[in-house]
Structure 1
Amino acid sequence: MGRNTRKRRTPLATKIVAGAAALAVGGGGLVWANFYASAHEDHGGHNRTRSAGAQVATIDCPDVGQKIRDVPDRARGEVDGELATMDSQITNAYQRLATTRRAQAGDSQFVQNTILGPLKDRRKAIIDRIQLEINRAGGKADDNLDELAGCQGRPADQQNGGGQNGGQNGGGQDQEGNDDNGNGVAGPVAEDFVDINDVRPNSRDSRNGLAADGDGGSTGSFTTDCGVNENNLFNSDNLIAAPGVDNGAHHTHDYVGNQDNDAFSSDEDLANADTSCQNQGDKSTYYWPVLRLQDGTQEFDANDQGGGAEGNIGKILKPAEARIRFVGSRQGDVVAMPKFLRVITGDAKSFTNGDANANSSWSCSGFEDRQVTDKYPLCPEGSQVLRTVNFQSCWDGQNIDSANHRDHMAFVQEDGSCANGFQAVPQLQIRLAYDIPAPTVENGQVRNPYAVDSFPEQLHKPITDHNDFINVMDEDLMNEVVDCINRGEDCQ
C-alpha cells in the first residue's frame, strides 16, 4: 500500500521522534515484552501464579494541552511543539513500561522510581518552558500547570485499564505462553468488543455529538464526495494539534479531500493543493485514524514510528464508503464557516483523559438504532461496521482555532441552540462504513481483532476514536452550502 511521500521540511517546532525501545515482530509491531509479566510465570522449574493486578497496564498522564487557555498567537507554535514533546515522553515511558516487566516483578518501586518519577521531572521542565513562552509573548500562564506534571500507573485489573483478565488478554503472554491476539500488541482485548445484538436500542449517551439538524430551523443538507483515500495518503502527523512536528500523532491517519496534508502544510499549501473531492471547490481536509485488522499483515509503516514501531500494526482497512455531509440548525439559519477553520472532535486520549470529549459512535448496518462509544461492535455476517461522528457546530464568530484547539467551537445545547453568543455553522457529519469479518472472541481471547490506531498508551481503545477537519472550501462553494441548507434543500 502506498504512503505520503511528500518531502518534509525542517520543523518549525521541536522535531519529535519517539524512542526506539521496541523490537519488531513478524507483524511489524512492538514486542510488549511480558506485557502483564504474565499472570502465570515459570521460575526455577516450577510455576508461580501472581496477581495480574500488581502490574501496571499503562501510563495515565493529565492532558496539559486541554488545560491551556490563554496563549498569544505568536507563542502557539512553540507551545504546540512543547506539548508534542510531552506526548513523545509519554510514548517513551510507556515503551519502557512495556519492556521491563521482569524488573518490575522483582521491585515493587521500579515503575515509580525508574519510569514515573523521571517522567514527572521531564514533564515539569516542559511545563516551565510553556509557562515562560506564554508569559514572554504577553500572555498570563496558569501557575497551577505544575500540578499536571505527575503521571500515574493504571493497573491491569482496573475496569478501564487494559483488561480485567490481566495477562490472559492484556497484550502479553497468556497462560499457555501465546502472545495475545497472536502479535504481542497491547490491545484491543476481548472486553473491548460487544455483540451488536447485546446493545440496547437508543441507549447511547448523547451529551456530545448531538445532531444539529431537525424538523425546524435550517433543514437542508450538502453532501461532498471525496472518496475513501484511493490515493493512499497516509501519515502520522497532526497539522491541527501538532503543526511543524514530525509524527505528532504517533498513529497513522487516513486523509480525504486536500492532498497536501502533513505537519508542515501552510494555509497557502492547502489553498493551492489538489483535492480528491468531486467538487473541486472543496479543498477541505478530512482525516481520522486508520482502522486496522490485526492479521499479521506488514503494511508500509510496519517498522516506522507512528506505525508498527509504536504498536499500530496489521492491514489498514479502507472504508467501503465515506459519507461526508453538512447539515443545518434546529433553531434557525446557519452562517458560513471561515476559511481555514480547524475543528477536532473526539479525543485521542479518552482512555486516560476520561470521556468528557469522547464523540465516536460505533454500530452495524441494519442496527443503526444501537450505538456504542466505548466498544467495537461485533456485526453479523453481511452487516458493515459503522463509525460515525457529528462535529461541533457552534462557532465563536471570531477565531479559526484556539489554544487547546477546542474553545472556539462548541456542541449545540439540548434544544439545538448555540450558547454564549456562539453562531450556528453547518454541522459536519462523517459516516464511515467498513467490510470487516467479525473477530472471534472465546475464553477471554479475541482473534483477528480490528482497532483504531492510537497513541501507544491508549491501548487501541474504541473510545479514543476522533476526527479532524480544516475548512478549505472556496468562498462561492461555502456560500452555496449555506444557502442550500438554509433553503431546506439537499444538495451535492
Structure 2
Amino acid sequence: MKRTKYRIATAVAVLAATGALTVTFVSGGGKGTADAATSLDQYVPIQAVRPNVAAPKPGRAASTGRFTVDCGTNGNGKFSPDNPVAQPGIKNGAEHVHDFVGNKAITAFSSNAELDASGTTCRNGDKSSYFWPVVRIDKTVRNGDAIRQALTRTQPTVACPTVGDRLPAVPTRARAAVDRRLAELDALTAAADRRMTASRGRIDPTLNKQVLDDLRTRRAEVIRGIGDTLASAGARPAGLVSLVDCDVSYDGLHAAMRGADHAGSVKAARDATPQVQCPTVRDRLPGVPDRALAEVNRNLDELDRQITEANERLLSTRGQGGPAFVDNAVLGPLKAKRTAVLDRITIAISRQAARPQGLDRLAACTLNQPIPAPGSGAAPAPTGSPAALPDPQGPNLELPGNTGGIVRPAQVLIEYRGNATAKVVPMPKFLRALTGDAKPTSRGPANARAVWSCSGFADRLSDKYPICPAGSRVQRVHDFPGCWDGRNIDSDNHRKHVAFADKATGACPQGFTAIPQLRITVSYDIPRDVQLKGQYALDSFPEENHNPFSDHNDFVNVNSDRTMQRIATCINKGKSCS
C-alpha cells in the first residue's frame, strides 16, 4: 500500500510540474467519469521509476554476441485467444487476444509436425512462434465495480488440457488400460472442481495453489502411466508432459459481466484470424493392430499437416472472394483430403481387425464456430473446446472485459543474447518457454515480472503502465529464461525445464546450461493524452482486470538445427548478426 501511495503522489507531482495534471486523475482514476477507462493508480511517469536494470559484468568465458530476427509487427493480423504454450489443446483458453509473429499456422492444437510444416513471417525463415497479449486503447467508461460484482456470482472451476486427442495410435493390447487412465484424469478434474466450491464468489490464491499443485502431481503420475503403457506396447508418445498442468478458470465472469461493457453489444463478426476447426480423430480410433500402427500414425500426422495448410491459406487469403470463397477454396478441398486419409486409416486397421465404423463422419471441418455434438448428424466438436469461452467479436476482436481498438506495435525487436559467465549451447528444437505470469492475482506474483518502460529509459522497468515523455515510445521488455536443464523441451508447469540466470553474476543455476537468451521488446506509438488519461491497457484474464503486472510472453522454438547453431556460434564469437 505504501508503494502505491508513493507512486500516486509522485505522479501527481510530476504531472503538476509539467502542467499536465487533469481532473480525471483526481477523480478516482476516471471510473464513473466521462474521460478515463482504467484507474490511474496503475500508471506511473517513467521518470518516477528509479533505475533498476543492471546487467552482470561479463567474465572471461562470457558469450557477448547478439543475434536479431525480423518477424514483423503482426502486419498480417494473426490474432488469437489461444495460448499454445501454457494452455495447449484449449480453444480460446487465454480469454484475451494475443499478437502472433513468426509461425503462421500455430493454434492451441498444433503438433510439432504442424509447426514444422508452417510458413513464417520471419525474414530469415525462422518458424518459431512468438506471442504476447495485445494492447488496446479504449476511451469509453468501464464500470469499476463490474469485476467485483460479477465475481460474487462466479464459481471458479479447473481447466485442464485433454490427453486422449493428443495420443498416437493406441495399440489394441493397450487400449483398455489407456482408457482407464483417461477416465482417471477426468475423475481427478472433477474432484478438483469440487474443492474449488470453497472459493465461490472470491479469489483465493492459497486454495488455488493447493488445488493446482495437488492436481499437477496426480495428473503427472497418471499421464506418465499412459506413456509407460504405450511404451510397453511399442508406441511411446512424445510431448505428454505439456498436458499435465491445469489452471483455475473464472470463465463464469464472462456471463456475469455480459452488458457491463460494450463488448456485449458489438456487432458479431468473424475473427480477423479465422481458424479451421476439425473433429478430433486420435481419440476416436479403436485399438490399432501392431502391423497397422506405423501406417495409421503417418496418416494421423498427415491430418495435422492438412489443418496447418488450411489455416495458412485462411491467413493469406483473408478478405478474398465472396461468401462462398472459404467453403470452395479451403473447407471443401480440406474435406476431400481428410476423407481420403480417413479412408486409408480405415483400410489399414481393417486389414488386421474389425473395420472401424464412422470415421468418414469426421472429415468435415468448420470455421470458427461450434460444431454439433456426436449424434446430431454433423461432425462432433473437438475435445477440449469449452463452448463457454467466446470467440473475439467485431472489427476490434473484442472479448468481455477486453474492449477497444488494438494498437499495432510500431516495432518488435527479437534478440537472442549471450551469458555473462559461459558460452551458450543451441536451444533444442520445439523448446517451449514463457516469461511473466498471466494470473498474478489468482495464482500469486512469484512468476510475474516488471516489463514496462519507455524508449530512452533502458535502465528502468516498471510493474505499472508507463507515462512516457513526448517523443518516447511505450515499451514492453520481455526477457526469457536463458538456462536449460539439458534434457527437456517442456515440463509439467512449463517452467521447470528452463531457468533465469543469477541477476548479480549471470551464472546459470547448478544443473542448467546457458542457451541463447531470448529478449522481445515491443514498442508502441501511443498518443500522450491517451497515456495521461489511462486509456491504454493490456488484454488480460477477466479476474486480472488489465493488471499491468499480468503481462507475459510465450515462445516455441521452431528454428532449424542449422539456424540455431548459427545463432549460438554468432553469440559465442561476440558478433552482432541477423
Counterpart mapping for 1:53-132 below 5 A: none
In structure 2, relative to structure 1, the CA distance for the partners of 1:216 and 1:295 (3 Å cut) is farther
Trace 1:260-275 onto structure 2 (pairs within 5 A). 260-275=105-120
Of residues 27, 30, 43, the one that matches 1:193 is 43
What is the deviation of 1:359? 2.2
Pick from 177, 189, 203 the counterpart of residue 52 of structure 2.
203
More helix by share: 2
| 1:357 counterpart (422, 427, 447) | 447
Question: What residue identity is the alignment partner of 1:471?
Answer: N
> Following the alignment from structure 1 to structure 2, what is the Cα–Cα distance between the partners of residues 409 and 212?
22
Q: Deviations over 1:41-83 (max 9, x none)?
A: xxxxxxxxxxxxxxxxxxxxxxxxxxxxxxxxxxxxxxxxxxx
- Quickly say closer, same or farther: Cα 1:434–1:256, change in 2 above 3 A: same
Alignment correspondent of 2:168? none
Q: Which residue of the partner structure matches residue 523 of structure 2?
A: 433
- TM-score between both structures, scaled by the size of structure 1: 0.59
Q: CA deviation at 1:295?
A: 3.2
Letter in 2 for 1:276: T
2:102 to 246, 249, 257: 257
The match for 1:457 is 543
| Residue 369 of structure 1: how far off its partner (Å) | 2.2
What is the one-letter code of the residue matched to 1:385?
Answer: V
Whether the 8 Å CA contact 1:360–1:387 is kept in 2: the answer is no
SS class of match (2:399) = helix
The amino acid across from 1:310 in the alignment is P
The answer to whether 1:387 aligns with 2:472 is no
Deviations 1:337-377 (A, max 9, x none): 111000010000123433321224211122222321x2111
Deviation of 1:324 after TM superposition, in Å, equals 0.3
The residue that corresponds to 1:284 in the other structure is 128
Within the candidate set 492, 515, 526, 1:403 is matched to: 492
C-alpha contact (below 8 Å) 1:336/1:479 kept by paired residues: yes
Describe how 1:288-437 pairs up with structure 2 within 5 A: 288-295=132-139, 304-305=390-391, 308-372=398-462, 374-413=463-502, 414-437=504-527
Distance of aligned partners of 1:270 and 1:452 in 2 relative to their CA distance in 1, 3 Å threshold = same
Q: CA deviation at 1:216?
A: 5.2
Distance 1:213 1:275 in 2: 34
Gaps of 5+ in 2: 10-23, 141-261, 273-388
Deviation string, structure 1 residues 78-129 (Cα, Å, up to 9, x no partner): xxxxxxxxxxxxxxxxxxxxxxxxxxxxxxxxxxxxxxxxxxxxxxxxxxxx
Give the fraction of aligned pairs with identical amino acids, expressed as a percent: 46
CA contact 2:60–2:421 (8 Å) conserved in 1: no
1:449 is displaced (CA, Å) by 1.2
Whether the aligned pair in 1 keeps the contact of 2:35 and 2:139 (CA below 8 Å) is no
The change in CA–CA distance for 1:471 and 1:217 in structure 2 (over 3 A counts) is same
The answer to which structure has the higher strand fraction is: 1
* TM-aligned CA deviation for residue 292 of structure 1: 0.8
Q: Partners in 1 of 2:56 and 2:119 — Cα distance?
A: 30
Q: Give the Cα–Cα distance (whole angstroms) in 2 for the partners of residues 288 and 389 of structure 1.
A: 9
Within 1, Cα distance between the matches of 2:518 and 2:56?
A: 9
Map Cα deviations across residues 23-46 of structure 1 (whole Å, 9 max, x no partner).
xxxxxxxxxxxxxxxxxxxxxxxx
Measured in 2, the distance between the counterparts of 1:355 and 1:322 equals 26
Distance 1:191 1:254, change over 3 A: same
Partner of 1:481, secondary structure, is helix
Deviation at 1:233, TM superposition (A): 0.2
1:7-86 to 2 correspondences below 5 Å? none
Corresponding residue for residue 105 of structure 1? none
RMSD, aligned α-carbons: 3.3
TM-score by length of 2: 0.50
Deviation at 1:203, TM superposition (A): 3.1
Q: CA deviation at 1:439?
A: 4.2
How far apart, in 2, do the equivalents of 1:223 and 1:267 lie?
Answer: 24
Partner SS state of residue 416, structure 1: coil
Distance 1:212 1:249 in 2: 38
Q: Secondary structure at the match of 1:400?
A: coil
Once residues 257 and 213 of structure 1 are traced to their aligned partners in structure 2, the CA distance between those partners, rounded to angstroms, is: 31
d(CA) in 1 for partners of 2:538, 2:454? 16
Quote the Cα distance in structure 2 between the aligned partners of 1:294 and 1:463.
Answer: 19
Preserved CA contact (<8 Å) 1:169 1:180: no
Q: 1:265 Cα shift?
A: 1.1
In structure 2, what is the Cα distance between the partners aligned to 1:483 and 1:368? 27
- Contact between 1:199 and 1:370, CA under 8 Å: does it hold in 2? yes
Quick one: which amino acid aligns to residue 323 of structure 1?
L
DSSP 3-state at the match of 2:435:
strand
The answer to whether 1:476 aligns with 2:562 is yes
Deviation at 1:213, TM superposition (A): 6.8
Contiguous gaps of at least 5 residues in structure 1: 1-155, 183-187
Q: Select the structure with the greater relative contact order (CA < 8 A; seq sep ≥ 6).
A: 2
Deviation at residue 294 of structure 1 after TM alignment: 1.0
TM-aligned CA deviation for residue 304 of structure 1: 4.9
Deviations 1:291-338 (A, max 9, x none): 111135979669954653321111111111100010111112111111
Tell me the equivalent position of 1:235.
80
Confirm or deny: 8 A CA contact 1:293 1:448 kept in the other structure.
Answer: no
- Deviation, 1:463, is 0.6
Which residue of the partner structure matches residue 69 of structure 1?
none
Kept in 2, the 8 Å contact 1:254–1:290? The answer is yes
Name the CA shift for 1:192/1:215 in 2 (closer, same or farther; >3 Å).
farther
Q: Which residue identity is paired with 1:428?
A: L
Paired amino acid for 1:435: D
Residue 246 (structure 1) aligns with: 91
Change (3 A) 1:212 1:231: farther
Q: Does structure 1 residue 220 correspond to structure 2 residue 310? A: no
User: Given residue 88 of structure 2, which amino acid in structure 1 is its aligned partner?
Assistant: P
Cα distance change of structure 1 residues 235 and 324 upon mapping to structure 2, 3 Å threshold: same
Q: Check 1:458–1:212 CA distance in 2 against 1; reply closer, same or farther (3 A cut).
A: farther
Q: Displacement of 1:239 after TM fit? A: 0.6
Query: Does structure 2 conserve the Cα–Cα contact (< 8 Å) formed by 1:236 and 1:250?
Result: yes
Letter in 2 for 1:472: V
Would the aligned equivalents of 1:239 and 1:261 in 2 still touch at CA under 8 Å?
Answer: yes
